[in-house]
Structures are given as structure tokens and as C-alpha cells.
Amino acid sequence: MIRVGLTGSIGMGKSTTAQMFRDEGIAVYDADATVHELYSGEATSLIEEAFPNTTSDGKVDRVKLSEYVIGKSENMKKLEAIIHPLVHQKEQEFLREAEERGDRLVVLDIPLLFETGGINRVDKIIVVTAPAEVQKERVLVRDGMTVEKFEAILARQVPDSEKREKADFIIDTSQGLEAARERVQEIVASLI
């Protein structure tokens, strides 16, 4: 089974691209969705213990949590030490299920693939990219996003140019949805 890592910096169109792989019948593990599930489940009490008053009604309040961690590297490391092992465990469950189904190709949608050493867990790497001005425009329209928050997130990510250099495949989402879909289809065809 070929394990493909799908990554890209914030605002590059990675979620839309991941859906295109699903549309082609490829199983996709979504690390971000897993984090959201954990924030509503098994990680809640662990996060509350580490970062008091960041949860309510059995869920992590992402706004309150971000106040603890954005721009504060020690707190971010503390959060990652809680979350990353749980996310990795869910990834392993996904891979076992895919193996049992006999999937020939799976996509691991991991935003921080390079930053977390995830490249050692995949056979091929796809980087979703777009010009910096397109990225910024996409991100700044998100609820609760500020220029400062965007810059703090970017500071924690490997630069887009470095990601592209290390990619086996690149999908430029600034070319439009149909061009991205065609590229996804080309990649699937070349790997299967």
C-alpha cells in the first residue's frame, strides 16, 4: 500500500484537494479533523489539566487555547506533546483499516508533515501550493483570523518554497479547481 503525505501551508487549498482524492475513491486520513475530534473527546481533560479554563461542556475552546499557545513556544510544545501521540495513534488505526480493506493507495492529510517528522511515515509527498498573495487573501477572510495570528502560524511552518523542493508532486491551487482536479487524477493514475 502506497502512503502519500498531503501537505501545504495554511490557506493553500489542502482541504479542497484532499476532498478531490476522496472523490477519486482514495481513502484520506485527515489529521486536522482528528484534532477536532480529540478536542471534543479524549484530549479535553488532558488539555484542561495543562491549560486551565480552556474547556467547557466537554470541549476545548480553541479561542481560549490559542491565547495560551500562539506565539508561546513552550506552551505550544506542551500542547503538541499531548495531541501528537493521540493523532498518530488514530493514523495507525486508519492505516490498519486501509490495509485490511486492501487499499493500494491512501492519502495522509497532515498539515505539519515536515514539521512533525511525518515524512518518514510516507512513501510520496504531495505539496499543495499557491502564490503568497493568494494564500494571505484566503486566510485573512477566515473567522477570527488576524494578520498577527496568520504570521504566527506561518512562523511555525516550513516555508512553502522548502516544501515544494522536497515534494514528489506539486498541486498549484491558484490555477482553479478543474486544474487541481486534473492534477489529482494524474497523480492517482501515476501511483496506481
**Cα radius of gyration rounded to whole Å, the chain:** 17
Predicted TM-score (pTM) of this structure: 0.85
Q: What is the pLDDT of residues 116-158, one digit of tens each?
A: 888 889 999 999 999 988 888 888 888 888 888 888 788 778 8
Across the range 182-187, mean pLDDT stands at 96
CA distance 82 to 18: 26
Q: What is the pLDDT of residues 19-48, one digit of tens each?
A: 999 999 999 999 989 999 999 988 999 999
Percent of the chain surpassing pLDDT 70? 100
Chain center to CA of 25: 20
Angle at 80 between CA 76 and CA 84, to 5 degrees: 165
SS3 (DSSP) at 158: coil
Residue 106: its H or E element: strand 105-109
Instruction: Pick the more confident residue, 100 or 71.
Output: 100
Predicted local confidence at residue 89, as pLDDT: 92
Residue 101 has pLDDT above 90, yes or no: yes
Domains in the chain, please, with CATH? 1-26+105-192 (3.40.50.300), 33-102 (3.40.50.300)
Calculate helix-pair angle for 31-39, 73-101, nearest 10 degrees: 110
